[in-house]
Structure 1
Amino acid sequence: MISPLAANVAAAHLGFGIGWIAWIVIGGLAGWVASKIMDTDAQQGLLLNIVVGIVGALLGGFLLSLFDVGTYGFGWVLTFITALVGACILLFLVRLVTGRR
């Protein structure tokens, strides 16, 4: 279950500031870079990169909210870094569960 603070952080990111199209672009870039870092690029296409990046951004935002840190005041750079780190964590967890390299 997502904490109310994480939901507020996600709502702030998704509803204000950079907008939905920018989230898709940042998610796609973060997912693609994360797939390169985690060496899963050959297994993923563009759509999966976007999904991994957006879910990774939500995961990263949730993790930052646990420490009462928000990215919405710092623009797209910290949002991208949050999405990238979250996407790498997500790909790592998927690798642990599935046992794939």
Structure 2
Amino acid sequence: MNGVGFFGAIVIGLLAGWIAERLMARSHGLITNLIVGLVGALLGGWIAGLLGIAYRGWLPSLLVSTLGAVLLLWLLSAMRRRA
């Protein structure tokens, strides 16, 4: 997350996890939302880097983090169905 700082990254992670939770019709707690949001931010940032997409600031970081968190929840759901 470029240009948001440490505490900004935590807030964006919480928001991204909460938005992903709502979009995927899940029910998690605050800590789980934070973890999902931060891991989603890493996943989304990695994919954006692979695609050559540059982003900076709060709103683009929130969008990339949310998309990464949704992808993470979808992948976890797909893995559970296979097991």
TM-score, L = length of structure 1:
0.76
**For the residues of structure 2 that align with 1:64 and 1:17, how far apart are their CA atoms?**
16
**How far apart are residue 95 of structure 1 and its match?**
0.3
Q: Which residue of 2 aligns with 1:94?
A: 76
**For the residues of structure 1 that align with 2:19 and 2:53, how far apart are their CA atoms?**
23
1:45 paired with 2:29, answer yes
Consecutive unaligned residues in structure 2, runs of 5 or more:
none
**How far apart are residue 17 of structure 1 and its match?**
2.1
Consecutive unaligned residues in structure 1, runs of 5 or more:
1-12
Residues 39-77 of structure 1, C-alpha deviations (whole Å, 9 max, x = no match): 112xx11001001001101101111111111212xx110
Q: Which residue of 2 aligns with 1:65?
A: 49
Q: Between the two proteins, what is the percent identity of the paired residues?
A: 40
Greater C-alpha Rg: 1
Q: Which residue of 1 aligns with 2:61?
A: 79
Residues 8-58 of structure 1, C-alpha deviations (whole Å, 9 max, x = no match): xxxxx3xx62111111111001101100100112xx110010010011011
Partner residue of 1:36 out of 17, 22, 25: 22
Across the aligned residues of Structure 1 and Structure 2, the Cα RMSD in angstroms comes to 1.1
> Greater relative contact order (Cα 8 A, min sep 6): structure 1 or 2?
2
Query: SS at the partner of 2:25?
Result: coil
**For the residues of structure 1 that align with 2:64 and 2:21, how far apart are their CA atoms?**
15
**Deviation beyond 2 Å, 4+ runs, structure 1:** none
- Is this contact kept in 2: 1:61–1:70, CA < 8 A? no
